[in-house]
Amino acid sequence: MKSYKIAVIKGDGIGPEIIDEAIKVLDAVSVKKEFELNYEEYLMGGAAIDITGEPLPKETIEGCLNSDAVLFGAIGGEKWDNLPRDKRPETGLLKLREALGVFANIRPVTVYDELTEASTLKESVVKGVDLTVVRELTGGIYFGQPRAIEGDRAYNTMVYTKEEVERIARVAFDIAMKRNKRVCSVDKANVLEVSQFWREIVQEVAKDYPEVSLSHMYVDNAAMQLVRDPKQFDVILTGNIFGDILSDEASMISGSIGLLPSASIGGRVGLYEPIHGSAPDIAGQGIANPIAAIASASMMLRYSLGEEKAANRIDNAIKRALREGYRTKDLSAFGAKEVCSTSEMGSIIAQYASEGS
């Protein structure tokens, strides 16, 4: 039997509550004895600061690097907001991403049929949306040199190397091959040289994927098209700053922050986390929606462990729970037959996942 080492970072606020449910569901699919998961818990964020004084202790970095994947909840809270920047919880997460070398951020946006009403967009616009944003995470203007504030001027630099564009494009094309085989590369090639370069490299990479159809879109148009007709997209491939903005915009199409997972991959070890934060306002009440964390666990099975069948079982179990009217409090206004707690929702999904074929 295959056996995998999973580093678990529960973090702060609702982090521990939702990660416990993700593990419950993972155990339910691995119980089929096709593979075994061994978890090791590590500290990061506020929980780590309280015990060690550091947001990302050395043992956490080493433990994560020696694992097959990292499953992470969320970090942060008011208690640590006034610490100096390098001691704050968020610094821990940024440093962990860097240590793992993850350069591709993947955010699928699925609109579940039962929850179309939860979106601020019209039902006819969002029904059936199923897209994935692939964002380059470690290059572009957020990291480019030179950068400075100098007297009465300031500047940043948007740089991409051939290697950086090639590797993120490959991630997007590989994902498209497992989906509907369409990639839309988003840039600003009408104005920026770096975008013209990006476009040329993406076109080169596309030659290795003859089954995938490639289109290009300027970022201003993409921002508009995402709210006009999001169904037109399958995989959106884009750079760091455009991806930062577009992935947040895309996440709102689904209407609920508690549903959306993410993966950061491409480095030594993949990192899987819900897109939401630690939600201190609802922590400890047993009302957090665990679906984003559970869907992140499913992405971990798919992208880091290659356990596609088990990932599908989880995705189908989430859909079934929603179809049958189970809702956590955040979604209770949208077709709830039964409002359940965080742990009840986890148990229902775990049960359906273990029944799935």
Q: Which residues are catalytic?
A: 142, 188, 220, 244, 248
Paired tokens of 14: 């609702």
Within 205-264, which residues bind ligand NAD (CB under 6 A)?
257-258
Stretch that binds ligand NAD, among 19-27, 116-124, 240-248, 287-295 (CB under 6 A): 287-295
Does residue 17 touch ligand NAD according to CB under 6 A?
no
What does residue 61 show for φ and ψ, rounded to 5 degrees? -60, -50
Q: Identify which of residues 11 and 139 has a Cβ nearer to ligand NAD in the complex.
A: 11
CB proximity list for 198: less than 8 A, separation 6 or greater: 160, 165, 185, 187, 189, 239
Q: What's the half-sphere exposure (Cβ side, CA atoms, 13 Å) at 345?
A: 37
> Using CB under 6 A, which of 175, 288, 310, 311 touches ligand NAD?
288
Does residue 297 touch ligand NAD according to CB under 6 A?
no
Site string for ligand NAD, 79-118 (x = CB under 6 A): -----------x--x-------------------------
Do residues 104 and 266 touch, judged by C-beta distance below 8 A?
A: yes
Strand-pairing partners, residue 72, are 9
Listed residue (320, 184, 160) closest to 240, CA to CA:
160
Does residue 289 touch ligand NAD according to CB under 6 A?
yes
- The amino acid present at 193, given as its one-letter code, is E
Stretch that binds ligand NAD, among 50-58, 106-114, 193-201, 271-279 (CB under 6 A): 271-279
Q: Identify which of residues 93 and 189 has a Cβ nearer to ligand NAD in the complex.
A: 93
Stretch that binds ligand NAD, among 134-142, 171-179, 269-277, 346-354 (CB under 6 A): 269-277
Quick one: how far is CA 102 from the chain centroid?
12
Write out the H or E segment, with its range, that includes residue 262: strand 261-265
Listed residue (204, 354, 293, 335) closest to 20, CA to CA:
293
Residues lying near ligand NAD in the complex (CB under 6 A): 14, 18, 74-77, 90, 93, 257-258, 273, 276-282, 288-289, 292, 330
